[in-house]
Structure formats: structure tokens, C-alpha cells
């Protein structure tokens, strides 16, 4: 009888051992999944890598043995990590994986399963696959505290990703997340992913843990099964859009500075697609500045856009045309011959030295001298009118010798 009792006890112990071993084998199911390709997007202009590292905190506690959709929540958690790992673009990242919920006699309730090391897609997946479901409690606070130590060797910004069922003490998880945030500040953001039952209490705890990170967010794994949904989640966690400064339009003409060929256009002046105001007579002086907007093609103009016979200047009190001025007058004759319907008023002007009466006569004589030259070149006198204006219409100030020289001039005003 005693022998039978020991035999039965031995059989029970062996059976329990075998059942225990079976329960703690790695649970691996890679779901059928075709990830979206994010490589093009993150390498394209407008996107940049948001983090330098990521660390996954995986719940492997006994409560994840509960089933949903015919599979344990632990398998659902691993399925999520598989889809995440497959969707992530080919970035240079640091990575780590820590699980919690193991029996204490197995080496501790929380274990570092991978890293910190460079992220290699295949290596990280092997590490996830090899995590076994424990039968212990859910010390999420210990997992966060140990992960804080793991982070010490990871430089730069890190995404901390908690994947679990939310069956934690309401205070412990958020408090531990806040401790991590206090230690690493803006270098970490916390993201939580809930698997299994969507009990309101569990939802709130996972939300509170994410909120402790201040810059992450909470998501239900059940909403991240499609390739597009997972791609959107990965993009939010690992990528960010480059903030492009709005193009400048310094003069407010509606054409951005990098396209504006005429910067500094005054407010209210119409411009073309190049940012330039119109110049209808093509004399190089924009219409809003042009005091003589109907100058014929080829005419030489001053900064006011007026047809001035450059090179035909006069000595003080003189009206005779010097030989050196002939070529400039010849250019005028050519323009008039090319525009047979054009008539011009030849305007004589003086500086302000001397009386108005004297300068009026002087300007008349200068205008008539030019008219006589043009008639001599074959221009009909019926197309020409000579008028003197004295110093009543200066082109510039008479306060300097240069200004007075510019005012001693002959202008041609087209009469179409």
C-alpha cells in the first residue's frame, strides 16, 4: 500500500511538471500580415525619424492566459509586436525588450529579454518569440523602474511601449511611469497598447500610464490589425513631419520671395507671375513709376521713364549743338523714321540760374536747335513741335552741379 502511495505521488509530480513545462513554452503565432511600406515616406522630404530608440515592456503575467478571439491575450500581445516590427521602416534605432509577470523563482518578476542593442528586425522578432508567459502577478511598476535603468545606456529620444491587458493596480503603473518621466523628461514618450478585455477600468489605467508620459498616447490593439492602421500607428510613434516654414512674401504682392524677380514692390501695385509690375512701353521703368508711359521702342529714358536725348547737354547760356551730340540725335531720327505715325513735342529745359524770362527764351532756342537738326535728317516738320519750359519742370534738384547739368536737357514727348 505504501509503495503504491509513493508511486502515485511520483506520477502526480511528474504530470504536474510536464503540464507546467507545456504551459511555459514560448507561444509563437505569426499572423498573416502584409505590412505597408513606410521606407519611402520616412526617407522622403517632409518626414524625419522621431526617436533614436524604443523599448517594449511586455506583460507576460498569468492574467494574459485569458482568451479572446480563441487565442490567449499573451498571443495577441505578441501578434501586435510582430505587426509593429514588420511595419517599422528601416531606421537606425536602439532597441530593448523587457517582460514582467514571471514567477520569482524563475529569476525575478521582470526580465530583460533583449538589448539594449541596435535594432535588427530579425533579432528583435526572435527575442519576442522566445518570451514565455509566466504565471505570476503583474508588477508593472517594477517593469517601469527596471526599464528606467535600461534606458540609462540609451542616448537620445526613446519611445517606451507598454503592451498588456491593463490588469494593474490603479496607482502603481501611472506612478512608475511618472518616475520615469521625471528622470528622462522630454527624451521619452510613453505609448500603451491594450490587449484582451476592454473593461473601462483597464482602459483608464492604460490611459493614465500613457498620460504620465505627456507626449505619447493609448491605443487598443484590436484597432491596429489592418496594415493601414498599424502603419498609421508606427508613423505616429516613430516618425514626424518636418515643419516647413511658410514661404515668405516680404513685399506682400502675392509672389513668394524665392520666385519674386522684383522684390520690394509697393503695397497695392499689380504684379505678374514673376512678382514684377507691368512696363507697357518696355522702357525698363515700371508703369507705376513711369511719368512718360508711351515711350517708343528703342528710346533712351531717364529714371522717370521719360525720353531724354542723352549726350545732348548744353553749356550754361548756350543752345548750340556740338558735333559730339550728333550720334544721339541720329538715334532719335531713326526711331521717328521707324514710327512714321509718331509725332513728338521737343521740350527744352534749363537749370534755375538766371531769371525765368531769360531761361524761357534759352529753352525755346534749345528746343528749336534740336528740331532743326531732325528736320535736316529728313523728319517732316509737321511731326515736330518745339516748346521751351525754362526751369519750370526740373528733372531733379538744382542744388548741386550734377543736378543742374541734368536739368539742362531736351526731352521728347510722344504724341501718337
pLDDT single digits (tens) 289-300:
988 888 888 888
As a dihedral over the C-alpha atoms of residue 395, residue 400, residue 401, residue 407, rounded to 10 degrees, the angle is: 10
The angle that helices 73-87 and 227-238 make with each other, rounded to 10 degrees, is 70
As a dihedral over the C-alpha atoms of residue 149, residue 84, residue 238, residue 224, rounded to 10 degrees, the angle is: -120
Which positions ≥6 away from 5 have C-beta within 8 Å?
none
pLDDT value, residue 18: 39
Full set of structural domains in the chain with CATH:
28-241 (3.40.50.410), 251-277 (no CATH), 307-415 (3.30.1330.60)
pLDDT value, residue 59: 96
Nearest Cα to Cα of residue 303 among 408, 414, 406: 406
Task: List the chain residues with pLDDT less than 50.
Answer: 1-23, 105-107
Alpha-helical regions (H) of 160-273? 172-184, 200-212, 227-238
Assessment of whether the complete model's pTM goes beyond 0.85: no
Query: Would you call 320 exposed, middle or buried from its count of C-beta atoms within 10 A (0-12, 13-18, 19+)?
Result: exposed
Cell, residue 257: 520671395
Q: Are 214 and 183 in contact (CB under 8 A)?
A: no
Residues 329 and 344: their CA atoms lie apart, in Å, by 14
pLDDT digits (tens, 9 = 90+) for 201-254: 999 999 999 999 999 999 999 999 999 999 999 999 999 888 767 788 888 888
pLDDT value, residue 13: 42
CA distances from 387 to 238, 367, 411 (A): 79, 6, 10
Q: What Rg, from alpha-carbon coordinates, does the chain have?
A: 44
Q: Are 346 and 308 in contact (CB under 8 A)?
A: no
As a dihedral over the C-alpha atoms of residue 385, residue 388, residue 394, residue 399, rounded to 10 degrees, the angle is: 150
DSSP one-letter string for 16-68: HHHHHHHHTS-------------HHHHHSTTEEE--SEEEEEEE-SGGGGSEE
Instruction: Determine which helix (DSSP H) or strand (DSSP E) holds 328, and give its type and residue range.
Output: helix 326-338
pLDDT value, residue 2: 46
Residues 349 and 339: their CA atoms lie apart, in Å, by 25
pLDDT value, residue 416: 66
Cell, residue 116: 539594449
Nearest Cα to Cα of residue 163 among 101, 115, 117: 101
CA distances from 285 to 173, 193, 252, 288, 343 (A): 73, 67, 21, 8, 22
Q: Are 103 and 135 in contact (CB under 8 A)?
A: yes
The number of residues making up the chain comes to 416
Q: Are 313 and 323 in contact (CB under 8 A)?
A: no
Q: Would you call 323 helix, strand, or coil by DSSP?
A: helix
Which positions ≥6 away from 47 have C-beta within 8 Å?
41, 239, 240, 241, 242
Amino acid at each position: 500500500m505504501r509503495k503504491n502511495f509513493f508511486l502515485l505521488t511520483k506520477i502526480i509530480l511528474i504530470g504536474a511538471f510536464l503540464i507546467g513545462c507545456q504551459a511555459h513554452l514560448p507561444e509563437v503565432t505569426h499572423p498573416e500580415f502584409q505590412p505597408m511600406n513606410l521606407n519611402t515616406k520616412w526617407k522622403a522630404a517632409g518626414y524625419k525619424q522621431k526617436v533614436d530608440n524604443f523599448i517594449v515592456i511586455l506583460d507576460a503575467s498569468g492574467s494574459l492566459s485569458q482568451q479572446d478571439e480563441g487565442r490567449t491575450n499573451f498571443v495577441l500581445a505578441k501578434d501586435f509586436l510582430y505587426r509593429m516590427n514588420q511595419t517599422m521602416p528601416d531606421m537606425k534605432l536602439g532597441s530593448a525588450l523587457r517582460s514582467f509577470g514571471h514567477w520569482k523563482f524563475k529569476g525575478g518578476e521582470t526580465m530583460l529579454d533583449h538589448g539594449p542593442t541596435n535594432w535588427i528586425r530579425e533579432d528583435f522578432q526572435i527575442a519576442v518569440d522566445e518570451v514565455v508567459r509566466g504565471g505570476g502577478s503583474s508588477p508593472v511598476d517594477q517593469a517601469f523602474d527596471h526599464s528606467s535603468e535600461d534606458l540609462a545606456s540609451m542616448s537620445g529620444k526613446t519611445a517606451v511601449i507598454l503592451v498588456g491587458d491593463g490588469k494593474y493596480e490603479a496607482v502603481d503603473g501611472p506612478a512608475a511611469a511618472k518616475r520615469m518621466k521625471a528622470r528622462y523628461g522630454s527624451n521619452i514618450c510613453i505609448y500603451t497598447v491594450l490587449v484582451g478585455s476592454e473593461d473601462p477600468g483597464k482602459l483608464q489605467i492604460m490611459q493614465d500610464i500613457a498620460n504620465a508620459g505627456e507626449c505619447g498616447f493609448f491605443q487598443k490593439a484590436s484597432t491596429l490589425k489592418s496594415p493601414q492602421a498599424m502603419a498609421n500607428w508606427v508613423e505616429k510613434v516613430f516618425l514626424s513631419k518636418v515643419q516647413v516654414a511658410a514661404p515668405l512674401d516680404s513685399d506682400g504682392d502675392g509672389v513668394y520671395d524665392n520666385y519674386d524677380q522684383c522684390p520690394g514692390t509697393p503695397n497695392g501695385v499689380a504684379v505678374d507671375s514673376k512678382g514684377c509690375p507691368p512696363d507697357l512701353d518696355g522702357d525698363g521703368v515700371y508703369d507705376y513709376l513711369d511719368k512718360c508711359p508711351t515711350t517708343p521702342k528703342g528710346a533712351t529714358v531717364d529714371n522717370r521713364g521719360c525720353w531724354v536725348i542723352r549726350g545732348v547737354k548744353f553749356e550754361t547760356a548756350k543752345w548750340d549743338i556740338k558735333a559730339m551730340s550728333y550720334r544721339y540725335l541720329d538715334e532719335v531720327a531713326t526711331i521717328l523714321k521707324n514710327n512714321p505715325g509718331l509725332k513728338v513735342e521737343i521740350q527744352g529745359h534749363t537749370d534755375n540760374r538766371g531769371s525765368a524770362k531769360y531761361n524761357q527764351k534759352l529753352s525755346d532756342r534749345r528746343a528749336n536747335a534740336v528740331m532743326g537738326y531732325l528736320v535736316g535728317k529728313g523728319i517732316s516738320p509737321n511731326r515736330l513741335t518745339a516748346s521751351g519750359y525754362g526751369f519750370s519742370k526740373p528733372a531733379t534738384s538744382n542744388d548741386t552741379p550734377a543736378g543742374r547739368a541734368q536739368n539742362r536737357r531736351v526731352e521728347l514727348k510722344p504724341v501718337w
